[in-house]
Structure 1
Amino acid sequence: MPAKPYNKQVDENNILLLRDILSELPQYATIAFRGIENTTSTRTRLGYARDIKTFYEYLCENNPFFRDKTPLDITTEDLSRLEAEDIEEFLHAMKLYTKNGRTYTNGEQALKRKLSALRVFFAYLYKNDRISSNAAEKVDMPKIHDKKIIRMEPNEVADFLDNVEYGSGLTERQKKYHEKNKVRDLALLSLMLSTGMRVSECVGIDIRDVDFDNMRIKIVRKGGKEAYVYFSDEASEALLEYLDERKKLIPEKGHEDALFLSGQLKRISVRSVENIVKKYSLTSVPLKHITPHKLRSTFGTELYRATDDIYLVADVLGHSDVNTTRKHYTDMDEDRKRRFRNEVQLREKRTIKP
């Protein structure tokens, strides 16, 4: 029996995790999450559920009205009594809090996600007449301050890939693993840098998804949509070398189709790729915090520089809204304006006679 597609395995795992969380919440929460099933991904619902559970735990621990309750005891009538201030207090507390002896912090984006979860949850309950008042809709979204986009410059990309190939700057312990994994790592990172694919899309690639005739790979985008990304000749060379090694490996059961394998001969995980990027970037680009997403930003930057086509960049990166892409590359617009400053000619150049 062939192994299940990676994205289906992820969905099934997310559903099981979601059920565990919902078992600790009242029954109406399960009904609400069933109600949003057709408009959200399993990953989104799992994130929402975690945030809702955190909110319920906060109420029971900090709100005087809920002091003697557990999350399972909170009724829809209780939710109807909440005011915007209760949710604002929760968001403020989430900026910095301690749980089980460990300190947690949440920035603007994390707080926005938590409020989004509450808004969706309360909106469903209100729309279906389970609560009489919707406090979440009265709370303003946290203002998101734009951050400087971190990306690698072309010389830094070259140093990074040299580090991947030759292991420069690695510790003696890292070098032992490097010799074993350098062909895989070079193929994986060259592919990410030449396509701009997300790390989750990369780890989900099966061998049969790679099409060398058309120099493309089939991936599954966020939301489950299939798409093709096209890789460079340089990435092709690295992939072919890795596939020669891959043929000699005997994967663990259920991981036979995976393109990239871990040291345990299982499909490589997102966390493993994050660690791989961190390892090589610490010595090659020490002044920048490079993550798999920064590889994506690096690719998008170079594609935009080469084409000046924001719509093409949005399409290749899989952004559903071009404004999302434009927001990430606004800092490059000054460079573009400068390059094209002489494109509009006011008068024909004439030779002035003495």
Structure 2
Amino acid sequence: MVVVEPIRNRDDVQLMIEYLTFHSAVKESDRQRNLMLFLSGVNLGFRIGDIVKLKVKHVKGWHVQIVDEKTDKPTKRKMPKKFKNAMRQYIKDKKDEDFLFPSRNGKHQHIKPNTAYKIIKKAAEEVGLENIATHSMRKTFGLFMYEQTKDVALIMDLLNHSSQSISLRYIGKNQDSQDRAMTKFQGF
């Protein structure tokens, strides 16, 4: 089993954004959906199963409220300003009950997590990133939030983890520390 990684630098996040904006689908509406799916993942840090179920009414204000599918915990997340502005533009002609990420299989259906996986996986492959899939968006959110705050307790809380060590391993900081140590290791 391949473990997915976070996207570790802003340039690679930007490559994903550019690919999803201009090349991820034939129809512009599908490209916009794909881009907003990715932006939702890296800006909110929710699991993909929760993201695909979001409706327009969930993103009208500054906060997105969900009940975390995995932990059954209520979660309320404020949207960053840049993301909120993009979301506002994306939903301007949509109704409150519309899914943010509609399926082409039916008017009242959202895309499935597997479809989202295929979109994100293909985008990552096209821009040359390895071990990236939908869960990478959540890990990327955690990593960048940690890099900004250095507050592992906050990351643990944001990701609904049970311990700080789980959060550090999850966002790849343990691996980064091991890699740095092995680079300095003299060997025999």
TM-score of the pair, normalised by structure 2: 0.80
Counterparts of residues 1-354 of structure 1 (less than 5 Å): 150-152=5-7, 153-167=9-23, 174=25, 176-177=26-27, 179-212=28-61, 215-221=62-68, 222-247=70-95, 256-264=97-105, 265=107, 266-284=109-127, 286-328=128-170, 329-333=173-177
Shift of 1:189: 1.1
Gaps (5+ residues) in structure 2? 180-188
**Quick one: structure 1 residues 216 and 316, their matched pair in 2 at CA, closer, same or farther if it must change by over 3 Å?**
same
**Identical counterparts, % of pairs:** 24
8 Å Cα contact 1:183/1:238 also seen in 2: no
- CA drift of 1:257 comes to 4.8
Do 1:202 and 1:219's aligned partners in 2 also have CA atoms closer than 8 Å? Answer: no
SS in 1 for 2:65: strand
Per chain length, whose mean CA-contact separation is higher, i.e. which structure has more relative contact order (CA < 8 Å, sep 6+)? 2
Rounded to whole Å, the distance in 2 between the matches of 1:327 and 1:281 is: 22
Distance (Å, rounded) in 1 between the aligned partners of 2:32 and 2:147: 29
Counterpart of 1:151 in structure 2: which amino acid?
P
**Contact persistence 1:192–1:202 (CA under 8 A):** yes
- State the alpha-carbon separation in 1 of the partners of residues 93 and 122 from structure 2: 22
- Code of the residue aligned with 1:261 in structure 2: it is P
Query: Which amino acid is 2:19 matched to?
Result: N
CA apart distance, 1:295? 1.3
Q: Is the 8 A contact 1:163 1:280 kept in 2?
A: yes
Secondary structure in 2 aligned to 1:246?
coil
Count of paired positions: 175
Q: Does structure 1 retain, via aligned residues, the 8 Å contact 2:63–2:79?
A: yes
Letter matched to residue 193 of structure 1: V
Q: Report deviation, 1:260.
A: 2.2
Deviation at 1:148, TM superposition (A): 7.5
The root-mean-square deviation of aligned C-alpha atoms, in Å, is 2.7
Q: What is the TM-score when the length of structure 1 is the normalising length?
A: 0.45
State the AA in 1 paired with 2:121: K
Deviation at 1:307, TM superposition (A): 0.8
Once the two structures are superposed, residues 220-276 of structure 1 have per-residue CA deviations (whole angstroms, 9 ceiling, x without a partner) of 2123221112222222122112212434x9xxxxxx453321123312211111111
The aligned residue for residue 46 of structure 1 is none
For 2:147 and 2:86, how far apart are their aligned partners in 1? 25
Please report how far the alpha carbon of residue 306 of structure 1 lies from its aligned counterpart in structure 2 after TM superposition.
0.9
AA partner of residue 169 (structure 2):
K
3-state SS of paired residue (2:92): helix
Letter in 1 for 2:138: R
Q: 1:292 to 1:224 in 2, by over 3 A?
A: same
